[in-house]
Amino acid sequence: MKRYKWQLLLGGVKNVSDLETKIPVSGFRIGDSAPRPDGIPKVKGTFAFSSDLWHEKMLWGGTLRSPYSAARINKLDTTEALLIDGVHAVLTHEDVPGKKVYGLEYADQPVMAADLVRYEGEPVAIVAANHPEVVRRALAAIKVEYEEIVPLTDPELAESTEPIHPDGNVIRKINLLHGDQEVQGDIQVEGIYEVGMQDQAFLGPESGLAVPGEDGGVDLYVSTQWLHADRRQVASCLGLNEEDVRITLAGVGGAFGAREDLSLHVHLCMLAMRTNRPVKIIYSREESFHGHVHRHPAKMWYRHHADMKGNLLRVEARVLLDGGAYASSSAAVVANATCFAAGPYQIPSANIEGIAVRTNNPPCGAMRGFGAVQTCMGHEAQMDKLAAALNIDPVQIRLDNALKTGDKLLTGQVITGTAPVDEVIRTCAEHVSSYRASSDLMSLPGGAGRTTDPKHISRGEAIAVGFKNLMFSEGFDDFSSAVCQLEDGVATITCACAEVGQGFVTLAQQITREVLGVEEVILAPAATETVGSAGSTSASRQTWMSGGAVQKACEEVRVQLLKRLAEEHEIDTENLVLVEGQVLSLTGDFSIELKVATAEPLEARVEYRHAPTFPLDENGQGDAHVSFAFSAHRAVVDVDPELGLVKVVELVTSQDVGRLLNPLQAVGQLEGGAAQGLGLAVMEEVLVTEGNIRNASFTDYLIPTSLDMPPVEIAALIEQSEPGAPFGAKGIGEPPSISSTAAVVAAIRAATDLELARVPVRFTDIVSVEESS
């Protein structure tokens, strides 16, 4: 067997991916399409994802999960499992050394169930053994006596039902009241909308390796979005000090929100510490569907009031999110759903009730778009209804009501930054597509089935607009940390920002080159030991936050360097610039190689914060957010109304980006986000019956393939420098997933004249199917 991975671990570099990010890519600065520093190992297959970690002495771990969505555990017997040859440990809730519950915002979720299980798939016991097959046999040998309880599965009943958890069934309720509550519109349109449960469906399954430390601590290598939040929760459950839990980022195979909460972290550490052996766990795809939170299913009621010219006067809404069994980030998701419930429009009066409840359904939490995806589907359907009722062009009614800088949000907050909503809508609507639909039958609805008669196809086109906040809101102390070291002309950046595929590693190098004029930028491993928290890779925040931290650290090193040069050479540093590995005087009378000037190393360690935010008051009012990003999508669909088949043939998008830092990576975010939005519109739903997931596999939970995705044409990337943002750049990850779903479903409505108030649109929503007896 090859042992190279563990040798690298012992070599002080914590995994293969970190080693290979040392490959220098010279010359690329801010605004350039710099290539990813991890691109070469990724195309060679040598990049070490968390599922690739390996240790000669390692054991395999596994998790026994509840088959019921609600049950009492009357008996739990691990005796027989322990007798199986090759089994090293079988642990239950009794073995949790510290706090028995954890949670990202509220600690309400058991590490393993004690007397109650509250969702299907809740962990009950964990096993370590010498082979995954032995793990499976040991899990099957654990005897659990369950007494089933009638599960609470209807979120509408959660408030009025006996609490299923000591913290109650209402996770958070916000009553947002804005402006004059007596306002009535000359015209009012109303609708009820529903969004199904979406899965992040990252490809790299939950996985990691825990190694017991000789000092009583533990080292954990894991794929995650937020190393330091993991450490806080893991240490608490293990009963250890935080410094005794050392977490290093292992290669992450996508995240999209699903890795913000803990999954196998505590289990891995418990097994490693009990067996005194390294332990690895990889979830199967089925287990992954049970092992992470999903996008909240939503039920929404809206009433829009306007004058006869289509000017919005008031929006009333109720947004109900099913949080499932545990809180996760539901409280923050429902705040977003409430604050952004009515879309990027100027609305003087509003009454929005946002509520996230607890049920025995699968827990829900973060997914790309975070509450704004669900409401965008609702508010955009309402805008189309209003336009139709008034016989106004749907694009025009959006332009007439578009938010701009200086306008107030529903929270009363005045937008001080950029808000190019008008430009985003206009460019998207006016874009002339270069796409020409293929005449091949494969390109028709139904694809390879070749079931559609081209003469029956009905084409529809529609536009949708969306927005959300960037970074954390409501007074959260949101910061990132970075260290910059400059020695021999080479910069080393240490930052705990989780690279999950989004390309922060590329930006970190570009920013460093921009500020310090260096060629070679080494990225140290992202780990809890070496640097403070970077915050989460979520909320479109890392370009701004960790980008800002890297910039600040580099700026401080630059200042130190200039001060040193001023002292050593008795020169005025006002005119010095750092460029292409040299320090030059603009007047031409001084120059020194950066390599020489930094033979003695320089270092800066910084924390970076965005402008403070404030909590929402009892009426949901307050300056709760920092900055906002806007996007529009235009979708063209072909529908076979007889068969209920849909093919999305074209997507056009415009997005507000502040300033483009890496055009190629930006395109990748826009295309990939639109694919996830398309998926939610036409195919993706975690089907849940009585709390049980019915389609926990890629056979039954479909995500778009290359044949489902149309070309995504980018009409415009609107560059208006955002005040206060490093380099003026806004985060760009989430907007592509927000307005895309709404645009696709609106286009299907346009093609079919059906109301289609629910996504994903199923074929039975298009074709009425008679129930046969």
Partner 1 sequence: MSNIFYTLNVNGEDHQVADAWAGESLLWVLRERLGFPGAKNACEEGECGSCSVQIGEEVVCSCLVLAGSAIDQEITTIEGLSPEGELGDVQQAFIDAGAVQCGFCTPGLLVTIGHLLEKNENPDDLTVREAISGNLCRCTGYGRILEAVQMAAASRRGEKRE
Please, which of residues 628-687 interact with partner 1 by CB under 8 A?
664-665, 667-668, 671-676
| Binding residues among 275-304 for partner 1 as defined by CB under 8 A | 282, 284-285
Question: Of 15, 51, 169, 401, which one interacts with partner 1 (CB under 8 A)?
Answer: 51
In contact, 377 and 199? CB cutoff 8 Å:
no
CB of 215 to partner 1, least distance (A): 29
| Binding residues among 176-235 for partner 1 as defined by CB under 8 A | 200-205
CB of 543 to partner 1, least distance (A): 15
Question: Of 79, 276, 438, 575, which one interacts with partner 1 (CB under 8 A)?
Answer: 438
Q: How are beta strands 627-640 and 645-656 bridged, if at all? A: antiparallel
In contact, 213 and 232? CB cutoff 8 Å:
no
CB of 705 to partner 1, least distance (A): 5
What does the alpha-carbon distance between residue 671 and residue 326 come to, in Å, rounded to a whole number?
A: 32
**Region from 49-57, 293-301, 485-493, 551-559 binding partner 1, contact rule CB under 8 A:** 49-57
Distance, CA of 52 to chain centre = 23
Main-chain dihedrals φ then ψ at residue 231, nearest 5 degrees = -60, -45
Q: Does 28 bind partner 1 (CB under 8 A)?
A: no
Q: Classify the phi-psi angles of 226: left when phi > 0, otherwise alpha if psi is within -120 to 50, otherwise beta.
A: beta
Q: Does 173 bind partner 1 (CB under 8 A)?
A: no
Output 45 or 166, the one with its CB closest to partner 1. 45
Output 704 or 726, the one with its CB closest to partner 1. 704
Output 288 or 382, the one with its CB closest to partner 1. 288
Output 285 or 408, the one with its CB closest to partner 1. 285
Output 131 or 563, the one with its CB closest to partner 1. 131
Return the structure tokens found at 486: 């400059």
Main-chain dihedrals φ then ψ at residue 226, nearest 5 degrees = -155, 90
| Binding residues among 479-518 for partner 1 as defined by CB under 8 A | 500-503
In contact, 268 and 127? CB cutoff 8 Å:
no
Per DSSP (E only), the strands in 276-378 are: 279-282, 294-295, 298-306, 312-322, 349-357, 364-365
| Binding residues among 110-169 for partner 1 as defined by CB under 8 A | 131-134
Buried b (16+ CB within 10 A) or exposed e, 370-382: bbbbbbbbbbbbb
Strand order from edge to edge, sheet including 116-117: 116-117, 71-77, 143-148
Output 131 or 609, the one with its CB closest to partner 1. 131
Bridge partners, 178 (sequence order): 350
Question: Of 13, 643, 709, 767, which one interacts with partner 1 (CB under 8 A)?
Answer: 709
What does the alpha-carbon distance between residue 546 and residue 393 come to, in Å, rounded to a whole number?
A: 42
CB of 222 to partner 1, least distance (A): 15
Question: Of 346, 405, 443, 621, which one interacts with partner 1 (CB under 8 A)?
Answer: 443
Q: Classify the phi-psi angles of 222: left when phi > 0, otherwise alpha if psi is within -120 to 50, otherwise beta.
A: beta
Output 3 or 563, the one with its CB closest to partner 1. 3
Output 390 or 437, the one with its CB closest to partner 1. 437
CB of 42 to partner 1, least distance (A): 3
CB of 651 to partner 1, least distance (A): 9
Look at residue 372 and give its three-state secondary structure. helix
Output 44 or 75, the one with its CB closest to partner 1. 44
CB of 696 to partner 1, least distance (A): 11
Output 36 or 468, the one with its CB closest to partner 1. 36
Output 175 or 438, the one with its CB closest to partner 1. 438
Question: Of 9, 30, 48, 367, which one interacts with partner 1 (CB under 8 A)?
Answer: 48
What is the identity of the amino acid at 771?
E
In contact, 475 and 612? CB cutoff 8 Å:
yes
Question: Of 10, 388, 707, 769, which one interacts with partner 1 (CB under 8 A)?
Answer: 707
What is the identity of the amino acid at 646?
V
Look at residue 227 and give its three-state secondary structure. helix
Bridge partners, 640 (sequence order): 645
Output 103 or 466, the one with its CB closest to partner 1. 466
Q: Does 79 bind partner 1 (CB under 8 A)?
A: no
Per DSSP (E only), the strands in 622-769 are: 627-640, 645-656, 688-689, 692-693, 712-718, 758-759
CB atoms within 10 A of CB 39: 17
Look at residue 173 and give its three-state secondary structure. strand
Total site size for partner 1, rule CB under 8 A: 71
What is the identity of the amino acid at 657?
V
Site string for partner 1, 451-480 (x = CB under 8 A): ------------------------------
Place of tokens 């804005």: 178
CB atoms within 10 A of CB 449: 12
Question: Of 308, 414, 442, 586, which one interacts with partner 1 (CB under 8 A)?
Answer: 442
- Number of residues in the chain: 773
**Region from 51-59, 117-125, 521-529, 558-566 binding partner 1, contact rule CB under 8 A:** 51-59
Main-chain dihedrals φ then ψ at residue 557, nearest 5 degrees = -65, -40
What does the alpha-carbon distance between residue 694 and residue 144 come to, in Å, rounded to a whole number?
A: 22
Return the structure tokens found at 54: 């390996």
**Region from 462-470, 511-519, 534-542, 698-706 binding partner 1, contact rule CB under 8 A:** 698-706
Q: Does 712 bind partner 1 (CB under 8 A)?
A: yes
CB of 285 to partner 1, least distance (A): 4
CB of 59 to partner 1, least distance (A): 13
**Region from 247-255, 456-464, 588-596, 606-614 binding partner 1, contact rule CB under 8 A:** 247-255
Output 539 or 616, the one with its CB closest to partner 1. 539
Question: Of 20, 52, 640, 722, which one interacts with partner 1 (CB under 8 A)?
Answer: 52
CB of 375 to partner 1, least distance (A): 23
CB atoms within 10 A of CB 687: 13
What is the identity of the amino acid at 347?
I
What does the alpha-carbon distance between residue 298 and residue 192 come to, in Å, rounded to a whole number?
A: 11
Q: Does 436 bind partner 1 (CB under 8 A)?
A: no
Output 38 or 520, the one with its CB closest to partner 1. 38
Question: Of 14, 15, 18, 47, which one interacts with partner 1 (CB under 8 A)?
Answer: 47
Return the structure tokens found at 672: 């990939």
Site string for partner 1, 1-20 (x = CB under 8 A): xxxxx---------------
Question: Of 115, 449, 697, 753, which one interacts with partner 1 (CB under 8 A)?
Answer: 697
Q: Does 582 bind partner 1 (CB under 8 A)?
A: no
Distance, CA of 204 to chain centre = 15
For residue 297, is the peptide bond before it cis, meaning its omega torsion is within 30 degrees of 0? no
